[in-house]
Amino acid sequence: MRKKTITISYDFETFDTVKRWKRELARRGVNGTLSANTWKNVTYWMTRLLKHSGKTPDELIKEATQDTELAEDRLAELFSWCKDMGQDANSCIIGIYGTLRGFYSHNKIDTRSWHSPKMRPKEVDQTDANYPLFSINEDTRKLVLNKQLLRDFLKSLNRRDEVIAMCLMSSGLDIGDLIKLNLDFVRGQDEHKRLFVSNFRSKNGEWIRTFIGVEATKGLRKYIKQNRKDAEDSEPIFVSNIRDNNTRMDSANIATNFRIAQERLGIFLTPKKQGPLRPKRLRKVFRTACQIAAVGDDMTRVFMGQKSQSSKIYLSKSKEELEIFYEMVEPFLTLYTETTDDQAISKLKQEFHQERKELLQNYEILLMKFQNMSKRLDTIDSVVYNSNTA
């Protein structure tokens, strides 16, 4: 369901309580800045609170100072109202009891005892479970990439979207950050087999330091050579219309294309349901691969641009040091190149089948010998019996 636009007749950012909130959020951000996405989320939920309550931000804090239970009730009423408007309950919980609760706490209101509704199981979890992106290898009892499903999915995409999907899986980048990259990002790293990404994540302003894997890098360079060779370095890598080199792809178009590709595989869902091969889930493939490779949560957060105090140790590492960690993860992300583990398993299987074949051959020979000996013994027994009865 499309989010309904709610407006108020004044600029809420001019109020002292909001200015204080904004300063606190910026102070906790990277380099003392507040990301555009964070403030966009604040605006979305704050507008709803002000519209529903009929009060200004300063009046809400004054009210909460006098009666914190009344302030808590306002959030509960807003939660019910938003649900009645058809909004997703879990999204409401995050927005109201996360974002708006922060408005009160940053203005010195004690919210620690406030009750927050429990998150409900997401319907998409069952959809994802029906189409697992990892499975258990029966030989090693370890999680391995569901290569067949992902290969089939990539084949159902056009060349551009196939490369986008591979980059999402191999880097852990958000789709928005990936499509913001320009051609100079690739052309400036021609001598490297992996592309190194060092940038700030749009969603939260955190520093991302990750790589685009060997397979995805090869595919990306091939795509550029075939489709973007005449474009300027300052132009986007991924465009929605090749004839118009300045039209950058947007995340909504990519999500739609991925959904169409799913349907080509026979995966049909109602329009409101999220598909199992959506961009955000492909990004999570990278997180799971990091867990399998056991590189640690802090290193994973550095790769994916997630906030952590202890991650600062890894942020100070050189590109070469980070690449060593990435090389531990990459084998669990490869779709077409046979990894060292795959080769070892394949070799063991060949040796097993050869040994089994030899054992079966030896068994057949021994069985024939046994049968011949049994016949000879039967003959001897018959002769002895006849001689004794003569």
Could you tell me the residue ranges of all domains in the chain?
Answer: 12-105, 124-337, 348-390
CA 239 to mean position of chain CA atoms: 23
Structure tokens that stand for 203 in this block: 């969603």
Low pLDDT (below 70) residues in the chain: 1-7, 30-31, 123-124, 242-245, 309-311, 338-353, 356, 381-390
Length of the chain: 390
Please state, in angstroms and rounded to a whole number, the distance separating the CA atoms of residues 288 and 135. Answer: 12
End-to-end CA distance of the chain: 103
pTM over 0.85: no
Write down the pLDDT at residue 166: 97
pLDDT of residue 313: 77
Superfamily of domain 124-337: Intergrase catalytic core (1.10.443.10)
| Nearest-angstrom CA–CA distance, 50 and 1 | 22
Measured CA distances, 278 to 39, 216, 254, 375 (Å)? 25, 18, 9, 69
- The stretches of 140-213 forming alpha helices (DSSP H) are 147-155, 159-171, 175-179, 183-187
Q: Report the chain's mean pLDDT, rounded to a whole number.
A: 87
CA nearest to 295, candidates 318, 309, 312, 311: 311
**DSSP code of 275?**
P
Task: Determine the pLDDT at residue 344.
Answer: 55
Write the pLDDT tens digit of every residue in 24-37: 988 877 667 788 88
User: Which residues face 196 on adjacent strands?
Assistant: 211
pLDDT tens by residue, 121-133? 776 677 888 899 9
Tokens, residue 275: 């598909």
DSSP, res 100? I
- List helix spans (H) across the chain: 16-28, 36-53, 57-66, 68-84, 89-94, 101-105, 123-130, 147-155, 159-171, 175-179, 183-187, 214-227, 251-264, 279-293, 297-304, 312-315, 319-329, 340-389
Closest by CA position to 5, among listed 43, 59, 62: 43
pLDDT for position 384: 62
Contact by Cβ (8 Å): 183, 235: yes
47: its two tokens = 């507008």
Amino acid at site 313? I
- Single-letter residue type at 226: Q
pLDDT for the residue numbered 272: 75
Backbone angles phi, psi at 209, to 5 degrees: -135, 100
Q: Is 257 exposed, middle or buried (0-12, 13-18, 19+ CB in 10 A)?
A: buried
Looking at residue 1, what is its pLDDT? 42
Q: How far apart are CA 267 and CA 152, in angstroms?
A: 12
Are 106 and 258 in contact, with CB atoms under 8 Å apart?
no
